[in-house]
Amino acid sequence: MIASDEHTGEQAPNLVQMAGNLARAVVAHAADAGRHASPAVQAERKRICLSNECGYSRNEAKACEACGCGVIGALSFIGLDMDEKRSWASSRCPLNTPRWDAV
Protein backbone atom coordinates (compact mmCIF):
# COMPACT_ATOMS: atom_id res chain seq x y z
CA MET A 1 0.00 0.00 0.00
CA ILE A 2 1.24 3.50 -0.72
CA ALA A 3 2.48 5.61 2.14
CA SER A 4 0.91 8.92 1.17
CA ASP A 5 -0.97 10.86 -1.48
CA GLU A 6 1.75 12.53 -3.54
CA HIS A 7 -0.59 15.44 -4.29
CA THR A 8 -1.95 16.16 -0.82
CA GLY A 9 0.51 14.44 1.51
CA GLU A 10 -2.32 12.45 3.12
CA GLN A 11 -1.61 9.03 4.54
CA ALA A 12 -3.08 5.97 2.85
CA PRO A 13 -6.03 4.50 4.79
CA ASN A 14 -5.49 1.85 7.42
CA LEU A 15 -7.81 -1.15 7.82
CA VAL A 16 -10.29 0.70 10.06
CA GLN A 17 -10.44 3.66 7.67
CA MET A 18 -10.93 1.29 4.72
CA ALA A 19 -13.87 -0.33 6.53
CA GLY A 20 -15.34 3.12 7.19
CA ASN A 21 -14.88 4.12 3.53
CA LEU A 22 -16.65 0.96 2.42
CA ALA A 23 -19.49 1.44 4.92
CA ARG A 24 -20.06 5.03 3.78
CA ALA A 25 -20.06 3.97 0.12
CA VAL A 26 -22.57 1.17 0.78
CA VAL A 27 -24.86 3.48 2.77
CA ALA A 28 -24.71 6.14 0.03
CA HIS A 29 -25.46 3.50 -2.62
CA ALA A 30 -28.44 2.20 -0.61
CA ALA A 31 -29.70 5.76 0.01
CA ASP A 32 -29.49 6.32 -3.76
CA ALA A 33 -31.85 3.35 -4.26
CA GLY A 34 -29.01 1.22 -5.61
CA ARG A 35 -28.80 3.22 -8.84
CA HIS A 36 -25.99 2.42 -11.25
CA ALA A 37 -24.13 4.79 -13.54
CA SER A 38 -24.55 4.29 -17.27
CA PRO A 39 -22.10 1.97 -19.02
CA ALA A 40 -20.47 5.02 -20.64
CA VAL A 41 -19.90 6.68 -17.24
CA GLN A 42 -18.55 3.43 -15.81
CA ALA A 43 -16.13 3.08 -18.75
CA GLU A 44 -14.96 6.69 -18.35
CA ARG A 45 -14.42 6.21 -14.61
CA LYS A 46 -12.34 3.09 -15.28
CA ARG A 47 -10.37 4.87 -18.00
CA ILE A 48 -9.51 7.60 -15.50
CA CYS A 49 -8.48 5.04 -12.87
CA LEU A 50 -6.24 3.26 -15.36
CA SER A 51 -4.69 6.48 -16.68
CA ASN A 52 -1.44 8.05 -15.59
CA GLU A 53 -3.35 10.76 -13.72
CA CYS A 54 -4.13 8.19 -11.01
CA GLY A 55 -1.31 6.55 -9.11
CA TYR A 56 -3.57 4.58 -6.76
CA SER A 57 -5.09 2.01 -9.09
CA ARG A 58 -3.93 -1.61 -8.74
CA ASN A 59 -4.77 -4.94 -10.38
CA GLU A 60 -5.96 -3.42 -13.65
CA ALA A 61 -8.06 -0.86 -11.73
CA LYS A 62 -9.88 -3.46 -9.63
CA ALA A 63 -8.32 -2.02 -6.45
CA CYS A 64 -7.85 1.54 -5.21
CA GLU A 65 -5.22 2.27 -2.59
CA ALA A 66 -6.65 5.75 -1.93
CA CYS A 67 -9.93 4.47 -0.45
CA GLY A 68 -8.92 0.83 0.03
CA CYS A 69 -11.66 -0.74 -2.08
CA GLY A 70 -10.57 -4.01 -3.61
CA VAL A 71 -7.19 -3.87 -1.87
CA ILE A 72 -8.20 -6.54 0.62
CA GLY A 73 -8.55 -9.66 -1.48
CA ALA A 74 -10.99 -11.17 1.00
CA LEU A 75 -13.69 -8.80 -0.26
CA SER A 76 -13.16 -9.87 -3.86
CA PHE A 77 -14.97 -13.16 -3.27
CA ILE A 78 -18.22 -11.21 -2.74
CA GLY A 79 -17.55 -9.15 -5.84
CA LEU A 80 -16.60 -5.97 -4.01
CA ASP A 81 -13.88 -4.36 -6.03
CA MET A 82 -13.53 -1.06 -7.84
CA ASP A 83 -15.45 -2.31 -10.88
CA GLU A 84 -18.49 -2.68 -8.62
CA LYS A 85 -17.94 0.58 -6.74
CA ARG A 86 -17.38 2.53 -9.99
CA SER A 87 -20.72 1.20 -11.23
CA TRP A 88 -22.62 2.84 -8.37
CA ALA A 89 -24.07 6.24 -9.38
CA SER A 90 -23.41 7.57 -5.87
CA SER A 91 -19.68 6.73 -5.93
CA ARG A 92 -16.94 9.30 -6.37
CA CYS A 93 -13.18 9.18 -6.59
CA PRO A 94 -11.85 9.21 -3.00
CA LEU A 95 -9.09 11.75 -3.54
CA ASN A 96 -9.46 15.27 -2.11
CA THR A 97 -9.49 16.50 -5.70
CA PRO A 98 -11.73 13.78 -7.19
CA ARG A 99 -10.91 12.62 -10.68
CA TRP A 100 -14.58 11.58 -11.12
CA ASP A 101 -17.73 12.33 -9.16
CA ALA A 102 -21.18 10.93 -8.43
CA VAL A 103 -23.82 11.20 -11.17
Q: In this predicted model, what pLDDT tens digit does every residue of 1-46 receive, in sequence order?
A: 333 344 445 567 787 887 788 888 889 999 999 999 999 999 999 9
What is the C-alpha separation between 10 and 31, in angstroms, rounded? 28
Instruction: Tell me if 24 is assigned to some domain.
Output: yes
Q: What is the pTM of this model?
A: 0.77
56: left (phi over 0), alpha (psi -120 to 50) or beta: alpha
Instruction: Tell me if 40 is assigned to some domain.
Output: yes
Domain that holds residue 79: 15-87
User: Which residue type sits at 18?
Assistant: M
Instruction: Tell me if 8 is assigned to some domain.
Output: no
Instruction: Tell me if 99 is assigned to some domain.
Output: no
Instruction: Tell me if 58 is assigned to some domain.
Output: yes
Report pLDDT for 81. 74
Domain count, the chain: 1
